Amino acid sequence: MKAWIMLMLALSLPVAAQAEEAKEAKEGEAPKVSYISLSPPFVGNYGLDGTARLKVYKADVALRVTGEEAVKAVKAHEPLIRNQLVALFGQQTSEAMNNVDTKEKLRQEALKQTQQVMSDETGKPMVDDLLFNNLIIQ
């Protein structure tokens, strides 16, 4: 009986060692970077300054996140993120939407507001970057 127990212990040690090595390998790997496209694209009016001309934008936005936890959190809070971005885009002036430098400032502000939403909801910013895949204005 004693030999049987010793045999079972000896056979289980390599399995335990392999499991530990696999765990260490996963811990040593860099977290997976993912891009989440906010779909459908944002479409709305901007620069409502009292002129008769209707100004429209269409923005395809993607969020860069790191790790599976961040992907799940962003998808769970996507409606709140979309709401914040729609409000931000609607506040823009014609000058802000037509200038390359101000478009970059808009992108940075959109990232900041997205991170603020995630911080308020989860305690962490979660979003590493915000990208305009396409930004069309008329």
The total number of residues shown for the chain amounts to 138
Give the DSSP H or E segment for 58: strand 56-66
Task: Give the pLDDT confidence score for residue 22 in this predicted structure.
Answer: 45
Whether omega for the bond prior to residue 40 falls within 30 degrees of 0, making it cis, is yes
pLDDT of 23 over the 90 cut: no
Structure tokens at 58: 């269409």
The more confident residue out of 26 and 41 is: 41
Rounded CA-CA distance 71/75 in Å is 6
pLDDT per position as a tens digit, 84-125: 999 999 998 888 888 889 899 999 999 999 999 999 999 999
Instruction: Give CA separation, 2 vs 7, 9, 47, in Å.
Output: 9, 11, 83
Single out the residue of 20, 8, 93 nearest to residue 51, CA to CA.
93
Q: What is the pTM of this model?
A: 0.76
- Residue-wise pLDDT for 38-91, tens only, equals 999 999 998 776 666 778 999 999 999 999 999 999 999 999 999 999 999 999
The token pair that represents 71 in the structure block: 């992907």
First CA to last CA across the chain, in angstroms? 84
Residue 97 CA: distances (Å) to CA of 1, 60, 64, 78, 103? 81, 14, 23, 24, 6
* pLDDT score at 50: 64
More confident residue, 57 or 9: 57
pLDDT over 90 at 5, yes or no = no
Residue 65 tokens read as: 């996140």
